[in-house]
Amino acid sequence: MNPRKRHVPGRFLALATIPLSLSLLTGCFSEAAPASSSGSGERLSVAMLQPPRSGLSPLSDDAFKLSRWATAETLVVLDDEGEALPALATEWTQDDETTWRFTVRQDVRFHNGNELTADSVVNSLQHAIDATPVPRILDGVEMTVRADGDDVVITTAEPDPLLPHRLSSPQLAVLDAEAYTDNGVDPAGTGTGPFELTAVDGVVGATLDRYDDYWGEAAHAAGIDVKFVPDGTARAAALRTGEADIVEAIPAGQAASISDDLIIEVPMPRTNTLYLNTETGPFADPAVRAAAREAIDRAAIVESVYEGRADVAEGLLGPALPWAAGYRDDPDYQEVLEGRAETADVDGTKITLGTFTDRAELPEVAVMIEQQLEAVGFDVQQDVREYQFIEADALDGKFDAFILSRATVLDSGDPVAYFASDYTCEGGFSIAQLCSPDVDTAISQAAQTEPGEDRQRASMIAEAEVLATDAAIPLLHERVIQGETARVTDAARDPRERILVTADTRLDAAQ
């Protein structure tokens, strides 16, 4: 095999090094903290949906907060088309099918002043490899890392054509060695991004200041202040009153109360799915799962709960991946679906249905799902809590059914990692508790296929295999509704929810 080298010229490098950032407002919304003495520009206030669930550890989903705050960076980033571009790595080569070499960017310092080296990259990646649970992006991936001069050499047990894309996951962010302690991972003062995390107030908020020695383009804003606001009505109110400059995840039910000039609607790779427990309880029977699938009226949920601001799901992958729909007419795809079970008589079948309150629409979706299931004979008992208090029970299989809003290409820009995590026997996020040889084979084949149309088709066959089990009933594909006041300039509108504030994001002078 000929070595393949990935080097991105200047016009792409500029795109790749756009910093990511976000801010935490502490306490109630209040006047912004004063600008740092070493720079110009006002501070940005941001209202976010969910508080940290794992103390802002980059080895958890909290990594995406660090990414959106532009405080932690990765070796690689993705452009709008999902193409891998340089970040803390300037280039990479593939020496053979299982060995990759990444050149570490020079003259980069962590926020504590320590220098970024190949050794520090290896240290961060090794902590991710050794983590329990392993970050989703590494599910099913065996790899070793070592430093070789200014290079990091990564060897995988099996050929992995998407390795550079994997390294773009915020869960593989590079922090200084001081971040890794016996008590967990502390990202404060140990990242490399244009904003330094300087203060954290539990699940309430945090503060970031512009890092003046940043290796790339200096941030316009002097800092960012973020408040976690799980209540969607409160987030919408903060936007209307101007108390928050940028607000993520405006609930669809609140959008009508806000001026159209203040909201941006973007189709996103996020699917609301009803997961059915295939291991224990009534849904261990495929025929009972089929009865649930036939009972669900997706269009009614979209029109009622989302007021038409979502797309009815035809599969696990939605319109944010425009290539997906065309493959559903493939004869092989249709043949897989023909293997679905016939529906059973479920009169009086008792089931538990769980979901969480952090996304304002989901409790309403749960009410409609309960009504639709009870209409065909199910006896439904709901359990609705904050996500941080319900996730462990969902993953332990303590519900018969669970409604989840799930990003499908969040980690690598490719859906195969999501399939592997949620639907394989060894998946680390298997709410459906699914273990099917046919599903595992299809996902494995997709994972081994080179990027391009062949991989897309293999991914869709994997989708069909999952749908054929009725372990997951896709309901709808969300559109992100982001709020920005009139003064906000150049905020990111990112369907992958990796970036929100960039180095260019700023507040224009008051009009």
Q: Is residue 254 part of a domain?
A: no
Whether residue 325 sits in one domain with residue 218: no
If asked whether residues 221 and 338 sit together in one domain, one would say no
b/e 144-171 (16+ beta carbons within 10 angstroms → b): ebebeeebbbbbbeeebbbbbbbbbbbb
Max distance between CA atoms of the chain, in angstroms, equals: 70
**Which CATH number do you get for residue 61?**
3.40.190.10
Total structural domains within the chain: 2
Q: What pLDDT is recorded for position 385?
A: 96
| Owner of token pair 């490719």 | 414
- Based on the fold, state whether residues 429 and 491 are members of the same structural domain: no
**Domain assignment present for 248:** no
Q: Are residues 502 and 457 in the same domain?
A: no
Task: Examine the domain organization and report whether 294 and 330 are in the same domain.
Answer: yes
pTM attached to this predicted model: 0.70
Residue 26 lies in a domain: yes
Q: Are residues 201 and 58 in the same domain?
A: yes
Q: What is the pLDDT of residue 410?
A: 62
Find the domain containing 439 and state its range.
268-478
Same domain, yes or no: 216 and 164: yes
Q: What integer pLDDT is reported at residue 38 of this predicted model?
A: 42
Domain membership flag for residue 113: yes
| 497 and 417 inside one domain | no
pLDDT given for residue 137 in this prediction = 86
Verify that 207 and 277 share a domain, yes or no. Answer: no
Calpha distance 509→503 (Å, rounded):
17
Amino acid, single-letter form, for residue 224: I
Domain presence at residue 359: yes
On whether residue 236 sits in a domain, the answer given is no
Claim to verify: residue 152 and residue 190 sit in the same structural domain = yes
CATH of residue 346's domain is: 3.10.105.10
Query: Does one domain contain both 295 and 392?
Result: yes
**Bridge partners of residue 311, in order along the sequence:** 477
Measured distance between the N- and C-terminal CA atoms of the chain, rounded to whole angstroms: 60
Using a 10 angstrom Cβ sphere, with 0-12 exposed, 13-18 middle and 19 or more buried, the burial of residue 227 is buried
User: One digit per residue, pLDDT tens: the chain, 511 residues?
Assistant: 333 343 433 323 333 333 333 333 333 444 444 444 344 579 999 999 999 988 899 999 899 999 999 999 999 998 876 788 999 999 999 999 999 999 999 999 999 999 999 999 999 999 999 998 899 888 888 999 999 999 999 999 988 888 999 999 999 999 999 999 998 999 999 999 999 999 999 889 999 999 999 999 999 999 999 999 999 999 999 999 999 999 998 988 899 889 999 999 888 899 999 999 999 999 999 999 999 999 999 999 999 999 898 999 999 999 888 889 999 999 999 999 999 999 999 999 999 999 999 888 999 999 999 999 999 999 999 999 999 999 999 999 999 999 999 989 867 778 998 999 999 999 989 999 999 999 999 999 998 888 778 999 999 999 999 999 999 999 999 998 999 999 999 999 888 888 999 888 999 976 5
Does the residue 287 lie in any domain?
yes
289 and 174, same structural domain?
no
Identify the pLDDT of residue 360: 85
Instruction: Assess if residue 235 is contained within a domain.
Output: no
Q: What pLDDT, on the 0 to 100 scale, is given for residue 16?
A: 35
pLDDT of the residue at 511 = 54
Which residues, including other chains, have CB under 8 Å from residue 55's CB and lie 6 or more apart?
62, 184, 185
